[in-house]
A and B are shown apart, each in its own frame.
Chain A
Amino acid sequence: MKDKSPLVGVIVLAIVMILLIGSFAIPPSKQRLVLATTTSTQDSGLLDAILPDFESKSDCIVDVIAVGSGQAMEIGQNGDADVLLVHSPASEKQFVKDGYGTSRTLVAYNQFVIVGPTSDPAGITQAVNATDAFIRIYQNGTEGDAVFVSRGDLSGTHTKEKSVWVKAGLNISTFSDTWYFSTGQGMGAVLDITEQQTDKGYTLSDEATFYTRRETGIIPHLEILYQGDTLLFNQYSVIPVNPDRWPNVNATLATDFVNWLTSPDTQSMIGNFTDAFGHKLFVPNAGPGSAAETHRLSSQLQAAIAIRTD
Chain B
Amino acid sequence: MVDAITYDVVQVTLLSLYVSGSATILGSLIGVPLGAAVGLKEFGGKGLLKTITYTMYGFPPVISGLFIYYVFSRSGPLGDFGILFTPTAMILAQTLLVIPLVAGVTITSVSEVDKNIKNTVLSLGASDRQATFTVIKEAWVGVITAVMIGFGRAIAEVGAAYMVGGNIEGKTRVLTTSIMLETRMGHFEYAMGLGAVLLIVACGVFLFMRWLQERELL
- The answer on direct contact between A and B (beta carbons under 8 Å) is yes
* Cβ-defined contact, A79 with B79, below 8 A: yes
Cα distance, A12 to B209, chains bound together (Å): 10
* Cβ-defined contact, B184 with A21, below 8 A: no
Taken residue by residue from 196 to 218, chain B's Cβ proximity to chain A (1 for < 8 Å, 0 otherwise) reads as: 00000000000001001101111
Residues in A170-189 with C-beta less than 8 Å from chain B: 186, 188-189
- Give the contacting residue for A80; candidates B18, B84, B168, B169; CB below 8 A: B84
* Cβ-defined contact, B167 with A66, below 8 A: yes
Considering the complex, give the chain A residue whose CB is closest to the CB of B74: A79
Residues in A8-43 with C-beta less than 8 Å from chain B: 8-10, 12-14, 16-17, 20-21, 23-25, 34, 39, 43
Decide yes or no whether A49 CB sits under 8 A from chain B.
no
A188 CB contacts on chain B under 8 angstroms = 183-186
Taken residue by residue from 55 to 84, chain A's Cβ proximity to chain B (1 for < 8 Å, 0 otherwise) reads as: 000000101111100000000011110000
Taken residue by residue from 1 to 37, chain B's Cβ proximity to chain A (1 for < 8 Å, 0 otherwise) reads as: 0000000000000110110011001000000000000
Cα distance, A218 to B169, chains bound together (Å): 25
Decide yes or no whether B123 CB sits under 8 A from chain A.
no
Decide yes or no whether A213 CB sits under 8 A from chain B.
yes
Decide yes or no whether B115 CB sits under 8 A from chain A.
no
Given A63-B85, A66-B167, A248-B82: A78 and B73 interface contact (C-beta under 8 Å): yes
Considering the complex, give the chain B residue whose CB is closest to the CB of A214: B186
* Cβ-defined contact, A63 with B74, below 8 A: no
Given A17-B21, A80-B85: A216 and B187 interface contact (C-beta under 8 Å): yes
Taken residue by residue from 163 to 177, chain B's Cβ proximity to chain A (1 for < 8 Å, 0 otherwise) reads as: 000111111000000
- Give the contacting residue for B18; candidates A21, A43, A248; CB below 8 A: A21
Decide yes or no whether B140 CB sits under 8 A from chain A.
yes
Decide yes or no whether A2 CB sits under 8 A from chain B.
yes
Cα distance, A134 to B54, chains bound together (Å): 50
- Give the contacting residue for B25; candidates A9, A17, A79; CB below 8 A: A17
- Give the contacting residue for B171; candidates A63, A67, A186; CB below 8 A: A63
Cα distance, A16 to B22, chains bound together (Å): 11
Given A78-B74, A212-B186, A216-B186: A65 and B168 interface contact (C-beta under 8 Å): yes
* Cβ-defined contact, B74 with A246, below 8 A: yes
Smallest CB separation, B177 vs chain A (Å): 10
Q: Contact size class for A?
A: 35 or more
Decide yes or no whether A296 CB sits under 8 A from chain B.
no
* Cβ-defined contact, B217 with A8, below 8 A: yes
Q: Contact size class for B?
A: 35 or more
- Give the contacting residue for B185; candidates A6, A9, A43, A78; CB below 8 A: A43
Considering the complex, give the chain B residue whose CB is closest to the CB of A3: B216
B116 CB contacts on chain A under 8 angstroms = none
Output the residue of B80, B167, B188, B213 with the most chain A CB within 10 A. B167
B73 CB contacts on chain A under 8 angstroms = 78-80
Smallest CB separation, A15 vs chain B (Å): 12
* Cβ-defined contact, A34 with B85, below 8 A: yes
B84 CB contacts on chain A under 8 angstroms = 80
Decide yes or no whether B150 CB sits under 8 A from chain A.
no
Smallest CB separation, B26 vs chain A (Å): 10
* Cβ-defined contact, A65 with B85, below 8 A: yes
Residues in A159-201 with C-beta less than 8 Å from chain B: 186, 188-189
Smallest CB separation, B148 vs chain A (Å): 12
Smallest CB separation, A221 vs chain B (Å): 15
Smallest CB separation, B160 vs chain A (Å): 14
Cα distance, A65 to B168, chains bound together (Å): 6
Pairs across A and B, CB under 8 Å, 29 listed: A4-B215, A4-B217, A6-B216, A6-B218, A9-B212, A9-B213, A10-B218, A12-B217, A20-B22, A23-B14, A24-B15, A25-B87, A43-B184, A43-B185, A63-B85, A64-B169, A65-B85, A65-B168, A77-B75, A78-B73, A78-B74, A78-B75, A80-B73, A186-B184, A188-B185, A212-B186, A218-B188, A248-B79, A248-B82
A residues near B, CB below 8 A? 2, 4, 6, 8-10, 12-14, 16-17, 20-21, 23-25, 34, 39, 43, 61, 63-67, 77-80, 186, 188-189, 212-213, 216, 218, 246, 248
With contacts A20-B14, A80-B73 known, what are 4 further pairs, Cβ within 8 A? A9-B217, A23-B18, A66-B167, A248-B79
